[in-house]
Amino acid sequence: MTKEDIMKREKEINTPELSIAGNVMAWKNTIIQLSNVSSLSTVALDPVAFPLWTIVGSFIAIILIPFKLAFLTFLFWVLAAIVIYAWYKQNQEIAKQRNLIIMMNSGKVFVIGFKDKEFLEKVYGVLSSIIAEGNESSEHIRININNSTISGEAHVLNDLIL
């Protein structure tokens, strides 16, 4: 199963905050045991497909030129330009985002969306360290996805130089 298949099968979790206490990570109404994570990865979001109908609209505008329908020609071109610009801006925004994919031993997959890929790399480092260490302590870590902050008193945070 590819990451693309996983992304299509699972819904993205939109949560403002993750909380980690020892070996347990929680958000909203979900709690997972980090020792049951079989795979942790990050994946870029797919860009939005180019709106091909804008090319068709431009050809229609070209066809209308000999018929002296300047207003309609202008309207088609302006509409096509606006849509292409919106498509470009949307793909620029998507390029900044990534998803964290958490695959459990049971096969359940959690996909958590991040708007800041640099912050996701920090979160990935924290989770990787906790999973690698098998941390069973009562240290608490709070990950605020909206504000891109990680706080807490865990030694993992000191070791990673966040």
> Is there a single domain that holds both residue 101 and residue 37?
yes
The domain containing residue 80 runs over which residues?
A: 53-94
Does 82 lie in the same domain as 61? Answer: yes
CATH number of the CATH domain containing 11: 2.30.29
- In tens, the pLDDT along 53-72 reads 999 888 888 888 888 788 88
Same domain (yes/no): 137, 154: yes
Indicate if 21 and 34 belong to the same structural domain.
Answer: yes
pTM: 0.71
Please tell me whether residues 103 and 155 are part of one structural domain.
yes
Q: Are residues 104 and 38 in the same domain?
A: yes
pLDDT in tens, 79-89: 999 999 999 99
In the chain, how many domains are there? Answer: 2
Rounded Cα gap, residues 141 and 150, in angstroms: 7
Per-residue model confidence as pLDDT tens digits over 69-120: 888 888 888 999 999 999 999 999 999 999 999 999 999 999 998 999 899 9
Q: Over 50: is that where the pLDDT of 1 sits?
A: no
